[in-house]
Chain A
Amino acid sequence: MLKDKDYSNIIDELGGGRLLAKNLSKFTNIVLNEKTVYSWKQQGIPDRWKPSIIKLLLKAGGTIPQGFIPPGMSVNNFQDNSSLNTELLEKYDNFNENDISNKTLESFYEKMLYLRRFEERVGQLYGLGLIGGFCHLYIGQEAVSVGMEAAINKDDNVITGYRCHAHLLSRGASPYKLLCELMGKGDGISKGKGGSMHMFDPKNNFWGGHGIVGAQVPIGTGLAFASKYLNKPSLSLTYFGDGAANQGQVYESYNMASLWKLPIIFCIENNQYGMGTSIKRASAGTDLSKHGESFGIPGFAVNGMNPISVYLAAQKAVKWVREGNGPIILEMKTYRYRGHSMSDPAKYRTREEVQKMREEQDPIEFMKKKLVDKKIYSSKKLQSIDDKIRSEISNLAEKAINSNPSNEDDLYTDVLCEDYDE
């Protein structure tokens, strides 16, 4: 049996009646007055307040007297896994910019530039009417794809939504095949049957290319499930947007991923808009990296306009996941310069806002400056790399334009694995 003294001690350990009343009110959203709390010293702490008080005691490192924990429960029931994991995660914070080789820095520049020039070309081809349907460009977000890719292995699995061209290229997909796919050509990576939003490259462990917002998240969780089931060391890098982060299946995935400790990085590309809706108008809690807390999934926000920050964060996340700690959430704060898709009146944001991001935070400009400052590259060299990339993409585009349209014989292939007898 607990004595008055025990109750008194607990209340004192938690800073006295006044502070405890305040903290409990904050904790539970039920307003308590300090007199009530003081009265518990004599009358005992009512059962309904015990769970909250145990949590506060655990947080404060206080002692929990025997008999205070409700029957059938243990301290573990009251551990706040999220803060526990967040603290654990700090131990993984040992990646440093100084350890990044010059070669890696060079590759950040070249790879991001390649993605930029590729997407610019795609935009032009769309303008010429050579690409149809929906087409979402990645321009502005390059640091995310390049930084993340640098930290994972070829065996790891990657999946994303419809804004997928860059992630495919980062995985090593053939740019020629992508251009062909975009123009509905027989040489396309999906034979012209998928288009901009639906491209897959299993050889490079890239699993789409999904048109339905949020649908890739449970699928990415399933890729992680398979890795664990098959005892493979691969993890799943699952990308989705700030808008997608509101889909219910995202939270269902968080729960399963944490419950079964699946090797997955949930990488949210928060470009601040889902179509014309800003994150503030769509999410009650705009700290997307914290959305996994109640599932015990740690997460943190990253400057997604800086490939070095992305790379360091990615290394930390990869280590966390590879060591069997289960899922992690990375929220990449990034920005798309172009419209949501090729038809976007863009009335939901100002020209100045876009201009400011381009001028002050552009990831490619940042890397250029870095390389020149560190005397790794001269500006002449930077330019020659750009020229080389431009001409390579031009040639591929030309070749793709001149290739054959999708083959009509392919209309009935690929519906079922066996012959499809229509």
Chain B
Amino acid sequence: MSKFPVRSAIRDAMAEEMRSNPNVFLIGEEVGEYEGAYKVSQGLISEFGNQRIVDTPITEAGFTGLAVGASMGGLRPIVEFMTWNFAFQAIDQIINSAAKTYYMSGGLVNIPIVFRGPNGSALQVAAQHSHDLSALFTNIPGLKVVAPYDSADAKGLLKSAIRDPNPVIFLENELLYNEVFEVPEIDYSIPIGSANIKKSGSDITITSFSRGVHAALKAAELLEKENISAEVIDLRTLRPLDTNTIIKSVKKTNRLVSVEEGWMSSGIGAEIISEVTSKAFDYLDAPPERIAALNVPLPYASNLEKLCIPDQDNIFKLCRRLF
């Protein structure tokens, strides 16, 4: 094992896949000469050249559609959105073209493509630059949705995403890019669709994904001090959701709290709780709960912004209430 920030884990996954498959290429704004607005593609242009690291104009709808076409034409595009907020410009190509073509063609035309970039809130960049699109994409049949937390998962899951024959939404988080975690030195990948138990426990199950895992783990430490043993599940993939792992855990702990940084209504928590109440109803000792961003567009002012995103204390308090 060696330690890498999430940023370079993502870069390495792309570089390794590009080395092994000449049809994999990266396209997006500032990915080449600028080496990525968040420096995720650092060094790639010098290794792969501008044929395979393609700088685009600011035309999200255009280059996303183009990438879908390139995928039909036999290539394996990795589309970087500078941030996911800008993918709203391209949402039609993602949903109507990428996600639905395989079905509409009766299985004749599949679209292997990865859409990736930082998702959710950063620091004080206000509503138009802080949108968490996780729940939105999990609503769409034809897409796979991945949202890793640490470096090892980011690398292993991105490799699977690039090899996947379907469109995969790969949600990163700007605030995690600098975080350093261990990464196996062997050649490995992590299958899409499997959650990971980050910390096992016996009294309550906390599910989360992406940066929410960090807060969940911290809350688990606080709970430990009160003699509550929390099991923390990193969902890693949001669609298809690994309900087996969640249900197995709830059957053991009998309590559930879902944590997400997106909004609550029709969110990931709603989905998880609905699955759990229908499949493990008799095992629940307390009503399942969810915690999410407050129901407002994210404000700019730092004091207001801090109130909006769930932190370890919010999670801790909510969990404790269930006993």
Which residues in A have some Cβ–Cβ distance to B below 8 Å?
132-134, 181, 184-185, 188, 190, 192-198, 210-214, 243-244, 246-249, 274-277, 281-283, 347-348, 405-406, 408, 410-412, 415, 422
In the complex, the answer to whether A213 meets B303 with C-beta atoms within 8 Å is no
Name B38-70 residues within 8 Å CB distance of A: 55, 57-62
Give the residues in chain A near B274, CB-CB below 8 Å.
Answer: none
A-B contact pairs, 17 of them (CB 8 A): A184-B302, A184-B303, A190-B300, A192-B301, A193-B127, A195-B124, A212-B128, A214-B58, A248-B59, A274-B57, A277-B29, A282-B58, A348-B33, A410-B304, A412-B294, A422-B295, A422-B296
In the complex, the answer to whether B85 meets A212 with C-beta atoms within 8 Å is yes
In the complex, the answer to whether A194 meets B34 with C-beta atoms within 8 Å is no
Report the nearest A residue to B125, measured CB to CB: A133
Report the nearest A residue to B129, measured CB to CB: A211
CA distance A134 to B125 in the complex (A): 6
Q: How far is the CB of A347 from chain B (nearest CB, A)?
A: 8
Q: How far is the CB of B5 from chain A (nearest CB, A)?
A: 17
Q: How far is the CB of A292 from chain B (nearest CB, A)?
A: 17
Q: How far is the CB of A272 from chain B (nearest CB, A)?
A: 14
Cβ 8 A contact of B296, one of A132, A213, A249, A412: A412
Give the residues in chain A near B296, CB-CB below 8 Å.
Answer: 411-412, 415, 422
Nearest 6 pairs between A and B by C-beta? A195-B300, A184-B301, A192-B301, A211-B128, A133-B124, A132-B124
Q: Given A213-B86, A275-B30, A277-B34 in contact, is the A198-B300 Cβ separation under 8 Å?
A: yes
In the complex, the answer to whether B304 meets A406 with C-beta atoms within 8 Å is yes
CA distance A210 to B129 in the complex (A): 11
CA distance A31 to B185 in the complex (A): 59
Cβ 8 A contact of B126, one of A133, A185, A408: A133
Within 8 Å of chain A (Cβ to Cβ): is B37? yes
In the complex, the answer to whether A247 meets B124 with C-beta atoms within 8 Å is no
Give the residues in chain A near B33, CB-CB below 8 Å.
Answer: 276-277, 281, 348
Within 8 Å of chain A (Cβ to Cβ): is B299? yes
Interface string of B55-93 (1 = CB under 8 A from A): 101111110000000000000000000000110110000
In the complex, the answer to whether B125 meets A408 with C-beta atoms within 8 Å is no
Q: Given A193-B304, A194-B300 in contact, is the A247-B58 Cβ separation under 8 Å?
A: yes
CA distance A193 to B295 in the complex (A): 14
In the complex, the answer to whether A185 meets B34 with C-beta atoms within 8 Å is no
Q: How far is the CB of A403 from chain B (nearest CB, A)?
A: 12
Known: A195-B300, A243-B58. 14 other contacts (CB 8 A): A132-B300, A192-B299, A194-B126, A197-B126, A197-B128, A243-B57, A247-B60, A275-B34, A275-B37, A405-B301, A408-B303, A410-B304, A415-B297, A422-B296
In the complex, the answer to whether A411 meets B128 with C-beta atoms within 8 Å is no
Q: Given A132-B123, A134-B129 in contact, is the A348-B301 Cβ separation under 8 Å?
A: no
Give the residues in chain B near A412, CB-CB below 8 Å.
Answer: 294, 296
Give the residues in chain B near A281, CB-CB below 8 Å.
Answer: 33, 55
Q: How far is the CB of A159 from chain B (nearest CB, A)?
A: 15
Give the residues in chain A near B55, CB-CB below 8 Å.
Answer: 277, 281
CA distance A243 to B37 in the complex (A): 15
Give the residues in chain B near A244, CB-CB below 8 Å.
Answer: 58
CA distance A211 to B122 in the complex (A): 14
Give the secondary structure class of A's interface.
Answer: loop
Q: How far is the CB of B45 from chain A (nearest CB, A)?
A: 12
Interface string of B135-146 (1 = CB under 8 A from A): 000000000000
CA distance A57 to B299 in the complex (A): 60
In the complex, the answer to whether B57 meets A185 with C-beta atoms within 8 Å is no
In the complex, the answer to whether B300 meets A184 with C-beta atoms within 8 Å is yes
Report the nearest A residue to B61, measured CB to CB: A248
Report the nearest B residue to A275, measured CB to CB: B30
In the complex, the answer to whether A210 meets B128 with C-beta atoms within 8 Å is yes
Cβ 8 A contact of A248, one of B62, B128, B129: B62
Q: Given A134-B129, A212-B86, A212-B88 in contact, is the A405-B62 Cβ separation under 8 Å?
A: no
Give the residues in chain A near B29, CB-CB below 8 Å.
Answer: 275, 277
Give the residues in chain A near B286, CB-CB below 8 Å.
Answer: none
Within 8 Å of chain A (Cβ to Cβ): is B109? no
Q: Which of A195, A244, A348, A406 has the most CB of B within 10 A?
A: A195
Name B291-323 residues within 8 Å CB distance of A: 294-297, 299-304, 307-308
Q: How far is the CB of A133 from chain B (nearest CB, A)?
A: 4
CA distance A211 to B298 in the complex (A): 13
Give the residues in chain A near B124, CB-CB below 8 Å.
Answer: 132-133, 184, 195
Cβ 8 A contact of B304, one of A212, A283, A411: A411
Q: How far is the CB of B40 from chain A (nearest CB, A)?
A: 14
In the complex, the answer to whether A192 meets B294 with C-beta atoms within 8 Å is no
Give the residues in chain A near B125, CB-CB below 8 Å.
Answer: 133-134, 195
CA distance A276 to B57 in the complex (A): 11
Give the residues in chain B near A247, CB-CB below 8 Å.
Answer: 58-61, 89
In the complex, the answer to whether B59 meets A422 with C-beta atoms within 8 Å is no
Q: How far is the CB of B264 from chain A (nearest CB, A)?
A: 10
Give the residues in chain A near B128, CB-CB below 8 Å.
Answer: 197-198, 210-212
Give the residues in chain A near B88, CB-CB below 8 Å.
Answer: 212
Q: Given A133-B125, A277-B34 in contact, is the A408-B307 Cβ separation under 8 Å?
A: yes
Give the residues in chain B near A197, CB-CB below 8 Å.
Answer: 126, 128-129
Give the residues in chain A near B122, CB-CB below 8 Å.
Answer: 133
CA distance A249 to B92 in the complex (A): 14
Name B120-170 residues within 8 Å CB distance of A: 122-129
Q: How far is the CB of B82 from chain A (nearest CB, A)?
A: 9
Give the residues in chain B near A410, CB-CB below 8 Å.
Answer: 304
In the complex, the answer to whether B302 meets A132 with C-beta atoms within 8 Å is yes
